[in-house]
Amino acid sequence: MIVWTVLGVLQLVSGERSVAIVNGFYKPREPRLGEFPFQASLMLRRNKTTTTFCGGSLIHIEWILTAAHCLENDGQPLPVNSVQVALGSVYTNGKNAQKIPARSFYINKKYFETDGGYDIGLVKLKSNAKLGRYIQLIKLHTNNGESLIGTTAFLTGFGIIDDNYHQPETLRKAILHIDSPNKCFMNSAKSNEICCTSTISEGKACKGDSGGPLTIIRNRKYLQVGITSHLSILPLCKISFNNSIYTRVSAYINWISKVTGIDFTKFNQN
């Protein structure tokens, strides 16, 4: 196993020190309101304030799809009454959003039983989301046998925009490329994960983007193929070769259907 020191990494990428992910000297990609109407923001309520800490996607009027690690802390689920979901807003602080408290969390049990992987969870809303111009459902990818390598994908999230933990005021978008697993230093191809590469100018996943949707465009509509899970090797985002790994949605369609009681091989597939 290669051990990277912070000093060694900075020396290796010294030519990129003046460049920040998504932001910095590159003009940030800030989606307009309604461009990603399925984007959800998980907000933690504490001391009468709310803070965005993870992303998610609206897959049904009462269900949010997200990452398992967004719903737990040190192996224990977060208090359900401390989390609310913001929909229909491009603002990190949830301005003008439809905010709905969480009713319950569901984490894939194998997430706790294995060392990595199975990073998928569901949030059931306390009341149904009201769909409209800026709030819509996302269609889920269901064909787990399909190779997605070579496909352009899009990451959206409210995550930090540099390695100094600065957070954006609005939603950001990165352009990614679904690539071979070895580009994310995976030991072998995994049917339940997706590896994505990108340049720094195209954008990188970073802390706070977790749980958000990885989408592709098919038949002129967005299709969710992944859930933002983790970086491939380092906790630093401002490195061109530090790619990102996503939970593959199609590998968990049966689990999602079982938990929700909704057959997602048929629901919203038209």
Quote the CA–CA distance of 182 and 193 in Å, as a whole number. 12
- Which 3 state secondary structure label does DSSP give 262? coil
Sign of CA dihedral 172, 176, 181, 182: negative
Higher pLDDT, 80 or 190: 80
pLDDT at 13 over 60: no
Residue of higher predicted confidence among 234 and 260:
260
CATH 2.40.10.10 intervals, the chain: 20-31+139-249, 39-138+253-260
State the average pLDDT over residues 88-95.
95
Q: CA 221 to CA 260: how far, in whole Å?
A: 24
Look up the CATH number of domain 39-138+253-260: 2.40.10.10
**SS3 category, 234:** coil
DSSP annotation string for 138-154: -EEP--TTS--TT-EEE
Q: What is the pLDDT of residues 39-71, one digit of tens each?
A: 999 999 888 788 999 999 999 999 999 999 999
What single letter denotes the amino acid at residue 241?
A: F
pLDDT tens per residue across span 16-45: 333 334 443 467 789 999 999 999 999 998
> Binning pLDDT at 50, 70 and 90, where does residue 2 land?
very low
The residue ranges of DSSP E strands in the chain, in sequence order, are 39-46, 49-60, 63-66, 72-73, 76-77, 83-87, 98-107, 121-125, 139-140, 152-157, 172-179, 193-197, 213-218, 221-231, 244-248
Place 189 in a pLDDT band, splitting at 50, 70 and 90: low
What DSSP state is assigned to residue 112? H
What is the DSSP annotation of 68-93? GGGGEETTEEPPGGGEEEEES--BTT
- The percent of residues in the chain predicted with pLDDT above 70, rounded, is 89
- Among 156, 148, 203, CA closest to 180: 148
Pairing relationship of beta strands 139-140 and 221-231 according to DSSP bridges: parallel
Give mean pLDDT, residues 179-193. Answer: 79
Does 20-31+139-249 carry CATH code 3.75.10.10? no
Q: Summarize pLDDT for 95-152 with one digit per residue, the tens.
A: 999 999 999 999 999 999 887 689 999 999 999 999 999 999 999 999 999 999 999 9
